[in-house]
Chains A and B, each alone.
Chain A
Amino acid sequence: MKNHLRDHRVLRGLSQVEVATGLGVSRQTVIAIESGRYSPSLPLAFRISRFFGVSIETMFDPEEEAYS
């Protein structure tokens, strides 16, 4: 599942550590999500969307595979 986490993070000038701390996950998990190697659970996906103040559809695109 493709996501726009990196785009939103860079847009807000946040580091991966800051996002990880805000979401309560590890820096490695933020890296894995950004690179498309890990699709977060639904609760974490909602947390990510709320953290950036966007809808879940804006953050995640289920129609597109990260590695297609």
Chain B
Amino acid sequence: MKMFGRKRLVRPLSVGILGTMIAGAAAIGSSWVNALAVELFVVLLVLGLFALAGTDSDVGAVIGRREDERQKLIEARALALSMKVMYSAAIVCAVIAIALKDNYWQADVIGSCGGLAFLIGLRIFALPGHVDIPPDGDSGV
């Protein structure tokens, strides 16, 4: 299977761009030293992901974006798990922030976006509720 296509670059480059944005924010809001440290970490992460994307494995196929149907299922399950953990962490952060009378609006944003995305996902992927079923109850399946 081809492991050196352009698709192999997509995920490492995406991480690189997002990481560089964080480094840029660190340069503006913190210091150049912190920004350079973040960028160095991002470069190492990008190189690691690029190397991993070239391996002949399920992980390599997912990161290198050359998944077959089983690997897409693995990716979807891993993504669902990560989203559940991220959402739970956001809720825990919000609970702690409220208890400490602190203002943690990021948890509100993550919670709202996650909840909204879930509802949109249900709307997109679920079958509509008004599917006609014959009177005898036999759906024909």
Contact surface of A with B, Cβ cutoff 8 Å: 20-21, 24-29, 32, 38, 40-41, 44
Decide yes or no whether B75 CB sits under 8 A from chain A. Answer: no
Specify which chain B residues have a CB less than 8 angstroms from the CB of A38 in the assembled complex: 70
Whether B71 and A29, one on each chain, are in contact in the complex, defined by CB atoms closer than 8 angstroms, is yes
Closest 3 CB pairs of A and B: A25-B68, A29-B70, A26-B68
| Max chain B Cβ within 10 angstroms of own Cβ: one of A24, A29, A38 | A29
Contact surface of B with A, Cβ cutoff 8 Å: 1, 56-58, 61, 68-71
Whether B58 and A28, one on each chain, are in contact in the complex, defined by CB atoms closer than 8 angstroms, is yes
Whether A25 and B69, one on each chain, are in contact in the complex, defined by CB atoms closer than 8 angstroms, is yes
Rounded to whole angstroms, the CA-CA distance of A38 and B69 in the bound complex is 11
Specify which chain B residues have a CB less than 8 angstroms from the CB of A28 in the assembled complex: 57-58, 61, 70-71
Specify which chain B residues have a CB less than 8 angstroms from the CB of A40 in the assembled complex: 69-70
Rounded to whole angstroms, the CA-CA distance of A24 and B68 in the bound complex is 8
Whether B69 and A44, one on each chain, are in contact in the complex, defined by CB atoms closer than 8 angstroms, is yes
Rounded to whole angstroms, the CA-CA distance of A24 and B61 in the bound complex is 13
Specify which chain A residues have a CB less than 8 angstroms from the CB of B71 in the assembled complex: 26, 28-29
